[in-house]
Amino acid sequence: MIEIVRRLSIDEQHMLLQACRDVVGQAPLFTKIMPTGAAFRYRCTSAGAYGWMSDRKGYRYETHHPVTGHVFPQIPVCIQQVAVEAAAAYDLSLEPQTALINWYDCDSQLGLHQDKTEVSKAPVVSISLGDDCVFIIGGLKRSDPKSNITLTSGDVLVMGEEHRYIFHGVKKIIPNTAPAELNLRQPGRINITVRQVYD
């Protein structure tokens, strides 16, 4: 199942945005490199016991932030709660071990890919904040038909069971579509994916 479970209220979005700012204050956003050497077109950081890492050595999870050299801050409780509740709505269990926080500028993109660095098959819960994006959903094969959906601030998406490993990507950010009450400071989009890395 890949479903938008719910839309968070503005108060909840505010709380999650502040939680992301707290994480970024301790574990700054940085740009990763693909194994090919090309730079990703968005910045990211992580919270939790592990952080997703990519460089010339490949994709993997690390316990220390590559720039600060420190362990990642704990996953803020409000992020954990939203993710666990969203998974539970589908009778799926998720033990949050990492929250990957992506920041997309207006010209950022994320190419079609599968999330498969995790050993665990637990669902991935994705929370969107800020500007809308055009999100591409494909199938289990790269060549499968694709459709576009708009992800809006406050959307909570669960990718689980038969859709745990579907191809997906972020085609474009639609600037200045964030709710004004969010006081985003600058156009762009935040995505938090909460994942269980190990069983």
Residue with tokens 């904040």: 129
Quick note: the x/- pattern for ligand SIN over 117-156, rule CB under 6 A, is: ---------x--------x---------------x-----
Q: Which is nearer to Mn ion, 115 or 118 (CB)?
A: 115
Q: How far is the CB of 181 from ligand SIN (least distance, A)?
A: 22
Q: Which is nearer to ligand SIN, 69 or 137 (CB)?
A: 137
Asked whether position 97 contacts ligand SIN by CB under 6 A, the answer is no
User: Cα–Cα distance between 110 and 133 in angstroms, integer?
Assistant: 11
Taking CB under 5 A as the criterion, the residue among 115, 118, 132, 155 binding Mn ion is 115
Q: Any bridge partners for residue 176, and if so which? A: none
Q: Which is nearer to ligand SIN, 65 or 168 (CB)?
A: 168
Q: 82 touches which of ligand SIN, Mn ion, none (CB within 5 to 8 A by kind)?
A: none
CB contact at 8 A, 53 and 61: yes
| Kind and range of the H or E run holding 3 | strand 2-7
* CA-based nearest residue to 128, from 183, 186, 191: 191
Looking at residue 178, its amino acid is A
Q: How far is the CB of 33 from ligand SIN (least distance, A)?
A: 16
Q: 108 touches which of Mn ion, ligand SIN, none (CB within 5 to 8 A by kind)?
A: none
58: left (phi over 0), alpha (psi -120 to 50) or beta: left
CB contact at 8 A, 124 and 193: yes
| Kind and range of the H or E run holding 24 | helix 10-26
Can you give the binding site for ligand SIN, defined by CB under 6 A? 102, 110, 126, 135, 151, 168, 170, 191, 193
The residues binding Mn ion (CB under 5 A) are: 115
